[in-house]
Structure 1
Amino acid sequence: MSSSYAPHVGGVEEHVRQVARELQEAGCAVEVWSVDRGTGPVVRDVEGVTVRYLPTPLPSGSVGGIGRFLRALPGAWRHWTAARASFRPELLHVHCFGPNGAYALAMHRRFRLPLVVTSHGETVADDHAVFQRSAVLRTALRRALAAASAVTAPSAFVIDELRADYGLEGGDVVPNGVELGLVGDPAGSPFGGRYLLAVGRLGRVKGFDLLVAAMDGVDLDPDVRLVVVGDGPERERLEALAADRGLGDRVEFAGRLQPADVADAMAGAIAVVVPSRMEAFGIVALEAWRSGAPLVMTNRGGAPGFVRDGADAILVDPLDSEALRGAIERVARDGALRARLVAAGRERVPEFTWARVARAYLDRYDAVLPARVGGAGTEAAA
């Protein structure tokens, strides 16, 4: 039960896509139930997985908003109960708690379905600060965490935040994964010359504005430029920022690329820079390690829990422009440092496979449904 799914792209969508595939290969019957974000309440086959896009109206604080919710709720609930009747899941696994989580909690209560919750840092790393604005979601999350048979997150940072702010007791870390086969080839990079690379959704939390600002005054050869791969609501503002700083010839916005092209671009980069204001984990870090790119990584969020500063990456506070600029300059100038970071990253990345992620989830399903999942050797629905 995902807050978002294809055709939308992002860390959560990738995580759920890969886990669904691995669970199917492990013999589980799997469907993805996702929030309808414009598709309408439809059912589609996406890469061999049945995906149901379901309506998730929630009440707002206004009288009109409550009225609209009450009118929409009966129809929405019919779609959810129809999904349950069609697939008959034995377990519900929420990824990235939002309206999907509120409806999962309702399904748990109505049909006594075991509930697993995986937070991806949505309570602290959301551009729209929905948890700060929505008492409904805050309450639903607290109740879902209390009701869940298992709670996981990709980093201890997220688990600690759930404990401190939402009353979680327990909780486990299940790291993100990466496809090891997309190694990347520098000869195939879509970008020529010498460049730093940043990849991700162009939203405020990802901190690309901090990186663009750091490029203003960076002490590197003038032919070294920054290439930003991705798209999102901040793109026009970022382009304007680069223009205002006189960086039009030094910052390139390349838009969205296919995963294989991203891997090639990473392989050809001087370094991959992740300047997020807050990062629950950062799959981009794993992608950089896989492609043999030196990594400059934010220290805000979950990265210090799996990245070793000075060994497989350089950790830096992106809100400190001088520190960010200095980290970039250090990595760009020091070939021996880059080689050490690349070697260490390549050694670490096999620890983070999607098969391991799925196996960790199956272990938790085993504890909830011991007679049906994984070790029992029978088909499961999740």
Structure 2
Amino acid sequence: MRIALLPSAYAPAVGGVEVLTARLASHLVTRGHEVEIWTSRSAGDGLQIDEHFEGLRVRRFVFHLPRTTIGSLLSTPAKTLNTLRGLRRAVLDFRPDVLHVLCFSGNGAYAAALSKLAGIPLVVTLQGETVMDDQDIYTHSTALRASLRCGLRRAARVTGCTSFVLDDARHRFGLKKTDGVVIFNGVESTQADVVSSPIPFERYVLAVGRVVHNKGFDLLLAAFRSLADEFPDVGLVLGGEGSVRESLIQQTASMSLSRRVFFPGRLSQEEVFDAMRRAEAFVLPSRVEPFGIVVLEAWRAGVPVLVTSRGGVGEFVRNGVSGLVVDPFDVQSLASSLRQLLNSAALRTKLSQGGTASLPRFYWSRLVREYEDVYRSVT
């Protein structure tokens, strides 16, 4: 089968959809399918329009959507037609059996139009983009909301990383109640390399991710503050980059915790794995979290997890079995759960073993077959 994957972003950009697309593509190719990546670029960004990247052909397009300025509205038809012509040329060259959108943005709007023009089945995979965008773009962009509604109507099949994500699409964007299938995100069964992470503590609690408001690092910091005197030998590590990192550093200083909280910045995947395997606990304190692939990575590293109850994480983390699930807005409960983990080696062992036992359900070698079932159902 020939499959065109259309992610909202792709390498060299770094993020969840980029990793998802690369893993899916790799496993599809291994199973004998032909795959191309058709993804987005910005005018003047210097990225190659057409290249082979890590064994895959990657074509990049400017997926322009109108804004509210007169100039933008007037220029949209010409820009749209130019992109659609490029996509039509790609169709004639590659002749895909399926168009698969991963994380709906401008890529999805153009894929829906291309699906109709070329008569190619469309699959849409939602990754929580409607609730986790840093700029809350689905609230502010009329064009994107309308495009998503049209895309969901056009799609032969819609998948979501959790029921939470699909329910949001049903409630706000017109996905039919009977439509949509959950295909969880995944990880590889092993981590190939380990690189020592620059952490100055022997014992520590770890959180990593985009350092933005929705990720709730400030809530974890408040919980840690209430435990700091009780556990003087435990540090807190908040890894990643983002818009609220500097304010968190200032908040830490105002709490007189600068020597107890470490901000290593962005860590490589190899460094994250090392940091996880040495941590006392991994915490995902998000205000809302559609999935949380870092939880799978923490399970793979053998560290017990404490995760948010807001969003879709509770659909696969069993409270008291494979992790602890808590509402991060209840900082006192967050601190209490963290106290349990730090006080009890037996509990940490139980939860880490529960996570390890749960992990095979999320191996890519299994998930790729679920996507294949979707493709077969629409062709």
CA separation in 2, counterparts of 1:331 and 1:2? Answer: 38
In the TM superposition, what is the alpha-carbon distance from 1:14 to its structure 2 partner? 1.0
Contact 1:41–1:79 (8 Å) recurs in 2 = no
Which of residues 49, 53, 58 in structure 2 aligns to 1:51? 58
Structure 1 pair 33–234 and aligned structure 2 pair: CA distance change class (3 A): farther
1:218-276 CA distances to partner (integer Å, 9 max, x unpaired)? Answer: 25422211112222233222222222322211111112222122111101000000011
In the TM superposition, what is the alpha-carbon distance from 1:215 to its structure 2 partner? 2.2
2:95 — aligned with what? 88
SS state at 1:217 partner: helix
1:141 equivalenced with 2:151 (yes/no): no
Letter in 1 for 2:98: L
2:117 — aligned with what? 110
Unpaired runs of 5+ residues, structure 1, are: 370-382
CA separation in 2, counterparts of 1:202 and 1:168? Answer: 31
Q: Bigger relative contact order, structure 1 or 2, given CA contacts below 8 A and separation 6+?
A: 1
CA separation in 2, counterparts of 1:3 and 1:39? Answer: 17
SS state at 1:64 partner: helix
1:206 — aligned with what? 215
Q: Output aligned runs, 1:1-382, within 5 Å.
A: 1-37=6-42, 38-40=45-47, 42-169=49-176, 170-182=179-191, 188=196, 190-191=198-199, 192-219=201-228, 220-369=230-379
CA separation in 2, counterparts of 1:118 and 1:88? Answer: 21
Q: CA RMSD in A?
A: 1.8
Contact 2:162–2:291 (8 Å) recurs in 1 = yes
SS state at 2:146 partner: helix
Letter in 1 for 2:361: E
SS state at 1:6 partner: coil
CA separation in 2, counterparts of 1:337 and 1:360? Answer: 34
Q: How many pairs does the alignment contain?
A: 368
Unpaired runs of 5+ residues, structure 2, are: 1-5
- State the identity %: 42
Structure 1 pair 184–41 and aligned structure 2 pair: CA distance change class (3 A): closer
SS state at 1:5 partner: coil
Contact 1:184–1:267 (8 Å) recurs in 2 = no
Question: TM-score, normalised to structure 1's length?
Answer: 0.91
Question: TM-score, normalised to structure 2's length?
Answer: 0.92
CA separation in 1, counterparts of 2:332 and 2:352? Answer: 24
Letter in 2 for 1:212: L
